[in-house]
Chain A
Amino acid sequence: MLLIPCPHCGPRAQTEFSYERTVDSVVQPGGDPTEAMEHLFTRANPRGPDEEIWRHTYGCRAWLIMTRHRATHAIEAMRAVGPEALP
């Protein structure tokens, strides 16, 4: 289980969090349809670090962006976001 450093609440057990999707899968409103399809239906899915959107669902309920290594699970960065900060 991961110990996830919530920027608002400090280190908390993974059971309090839910994974939502990767940052590269966020669809821009009004964007190009081909690009939207790519965001919806494909993932880089690297065997290395990727940026992911998580939520501290059973804690402060804030959305967070986690940079995490997919094979070692090392959390390289964790940042708080509001809707305006989403890519």
Chain B
Amino acid sequence: MSRYSALGLLRGVFNGQSHWQPAWRDPEPKPNYDVIIIGGGGHGLATAYYLASVHGIRNVAVLEKGWIGGGNTGRNTTLVRSNYRLPQLHNFFEFGLKMWERLSDELNYNIMFSPRGALMLGHSDSDMVRLAERGDAMRVNDIDAELLSRDQVAKLEPLLDMSREARFPIEGGLIQRRGGTARHDAVAWGYARAADQLGVDIIQKCEVTGFLRQGDAVVGVETTRGAIGAGRVGICVAGHSGHVAAMAGLKLPVESQTLQALVTEGVKPMINGVIMSQSLHCYISQSDKGGIVMGGDPDNWPSYAQRGQPMVTEGAIAQAIALVPALSRLRMLRTWAGVTDMSFDGSPIIGTTPVPNLFLNGGWCYGGFKATPASGWTYAHTLATGTPHELNAPFDLDRFRRGDTIDENGVGPMPNHR
């Protein structure tokens, strides 16, 4: 398959663009693979790509029940950042952020990574103390973070309501200038194309319905397209982690909830970077097409329905309009929802399971898009070697039993209070 390049585009001008080929094959499942990944989201596809490219394991299949990227990968608000307070989290996400910076080149696919700056607003003295604490924690580990005054914030985002009468007065902020957004679909497609080129089979419309067992060990999967044998199997299904793992007898620290987002009609540039808040759960950015993309709280009750409630979106919109009053003039284009895998400490789970040959990647809550490259990298390492990479070792499933949770917000075992 040919490389994408400016020269190729130019050639297309003369051949009527007839040179375009499908970006990946559509193979029939083989009877056996070294590794099967369940779930063709960004994480599953990235895992397959790094298994092939870094570990030389190419007899790999990614099984996707629908179409690749049709889960949370294609539904998220595409924020990419590494501004976490706890070292386990910021080290992991920073490793990922460095990968984002060169991902388009690595995959020969434009994933449109746009480091336009991720700004967290502070609305009170205590917000500013917490932002400073977070920024310090990042900076001692060489991750960029800059505490901003009120004036600096006003300059960055002129449409913010900076008045003293504002519903949520703005005292300052913390910015990670290297943070930003990326094109979610392109991430799935770029990894799929690159993995396919290395021999990985991407099999869509293939739902895993059970596990093949030999004694305790998993030796393959039952699917809607027949049984397929495997040396190792990696679950990578985000919101569906609970019921897929249950087919192997596992009960996870995960509850599936709904997270919604919305986008307005396209307008001229009005939001320069990504706006988030220390106290509110509302985030705002502007897509390259001009639509204002917004998200808010999860629906806070368990659901697999992949549709949310208007009252939750209304809450997010109310907060967004309080921050940027000009948004009230825009018309909403559409809303959508994804099934998020809310873990019990707000942090992901990547590692081995008590079932031999079965591995787990899940518990991403509402923040796993930014993790895609690091998640794939570390999960591939774990699947290839049978032991975790140092970056995902803290995120093992056993940490809940040990009382060693990674609880960024310090709220305890409540998936709906993240």
Contact = CB atoms under 8 A, between A and B. Distances in A.
B3 interface: no
Across the A-B interface, give the 8 residue pairs with the lowest CB-CB distance, nearest first: A45-B242, A19-B301, A47-B243, A41-B400, A42-B251, A71-B304, A41-B253, A40-B413
Contact of B302 (A1, A22, A38): A22
Interface in A3-44: 14-15, 18-19, 21-22, 37-38, 40-44
Contact of B251 (A15, A19, A38, A72): A38
Interface string B396-412: 00001100000000000
B339 to A, nearest CB: 9
Interface size class of B (residues with CB under 8 A): 20 to 34
B303 interface: yes
Contacts of B309: 1, 14
Contact of B305 (A21, A52, A73): A73
Given A1-B309, A42-B251, A42-B252, A70 B303 contact: yes
B125 to A, nearest CB: 30
Contacts of B32: none
Contacts of B416: 19, 21
A38 B413 CA distance: 11
B246 interface: yes
Nearest to A1: B309
A50 B302 contact: yes
Given A1-B311, A41-B253, A47 B302 contact: no
Contact of B304 (A19, A21, A42, A70): A70
B300 A19 contact: yes
B381 interface: no
Interface in B130-179: none
A83 interface: no
Contact of B254 (A15, A18, A40, A45): A45
A6 to B, nearest CB: 16
A70 B253 contact: no
B256 interface: yes
Contacts of A18: 300
A82 interface: no
Interface string B256-282: 100000000000000000000000000
Interface of A: 1, 14-15, 18-19, 21-22, 37-38, 40-47, 50, 52, 70-73
B251 A44 contact: yes
B310 interface: yes
Interface string B16-50: 00000000000000000000000000000000000
A42 B400 CA distance: 9
Contacts of A50: 302
Nearest to B242: A45
B243 A46 contact: yes
Nearest to B412: A40
A44 B246 contact: yes
B145 to A, nearest CB: 32
A79 to B, nearest CB: 18
Given A14-B309, A70-B303, A41 B242 contact: no
Most B-side CB within 10 Å, residue of A37, A47, A72, A73: A47
A52 B255 CA distance: 12
Given A1-B309, A1-B310, A45 B255 contact: yes
B240 interface: yes
B401 A72 contact: no
Contact of A43 (B242, B300, B301): B242
Interface in B330-347: 344
Interface in B362-418: 400-401, 413-416
A40 B242 CA distance: 16
A27 to B, nearest CB: 10
B303 A37 contact: no
A76 to B, nearest CB: 15
Nearest to A40: B413
B242 A71 contact: no
